[in-house]
């Protein structure tokens, strides 16, 4: 057998000149700039997503508002809740208060009205209670109470009586489950 000779050759480059050092420096700068640009793009993307989510929430935000309508000629008083917001309002709770005490009944609006109407001159009245879990679409009205008063008892007097003795608190939410509160004392 013949002897085998293994050998390893090491090549050590000579110290590069100025051009090699500049190339290394420019390569490092380019890599650093790439990392900075990627981080800035990530930050701007997250910011844009956050702004988009805020926009989506605003585009479906409901706003309940109480409205009083009085027709003196017909002796009619009507109180309604209107959704003046952009998105639907989902009713989660509704509480009627009479003389600062919560009315507890299957139909709180009817119970409060029966108490108020027992000593108030009127010809006719009707109501529609806010249903828990129902949606009030944008622009939709829920006529809570309609009262036809006697000719000698103007609807403005009945409105004053309602405002002095009763109020309504409605808890509602948007389709994103953002909670809101309607208080008839502030409307």
Residue 129: burial class (beta carbons within 10 Å; 0-12, 13-18, 19+) = middle
Task: Answer whether 123's CB lies under 8 Å from 150's CB.
Answer: yes
30 pLDDT higher than 90: yes
The average confidence (pLDDT) of the chain is 89
> Is this prediction's pTM over 0.85?
no
Q: Is the dihedral of CA 105, 110, 116, 119 positive or negative?
A: negative
pLDDT tens figures, 67-85: 999 988 888 999 999 999 9
Q: Is the pLDDT of residue 125 over 90?
A: no
1 pLDDT band, cuts 50/70/90, is: low
């Amino acid at each position: 057998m013949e002897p085998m000779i293994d050998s390893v050759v090491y090549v050590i480059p000579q110290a590069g000149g100025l051009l090699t050092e500049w190339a290394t420096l420019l390569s490092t700068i380019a890599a650093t700039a790439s990392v900075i640009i990627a981080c800035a793009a990530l930050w701007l993307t997250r910011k844009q997503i956050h702004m988009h989510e805020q926009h989506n929430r605003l585009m479906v935000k409901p706003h309940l508002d109480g409205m009083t309508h009085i027709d003196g000629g017909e002796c009619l008083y009507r109180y309604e809740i209107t959704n003046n917001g952009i998105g639907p309002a989902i009713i989660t709770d509704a509480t009627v208060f009479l003389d600062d005490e919560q009315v507890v009944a299957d139909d709180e609006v009817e119970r409060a009205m029966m108490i108020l109407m027992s000593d108030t001159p009127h010809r006719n009245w009707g109501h529609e209670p806010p249903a828990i879990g129902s949606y009030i679409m944008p622009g939709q009205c829920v006529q809570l109470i309609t009262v036809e008063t006697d000719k000698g008892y103007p609807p403005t007097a009945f409105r004053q009586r309602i405002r002095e003795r009763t109020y309504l608190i409605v808890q509602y939410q948007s389709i994103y489950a953002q909670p809101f509160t309607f208080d008839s004392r502030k409307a």
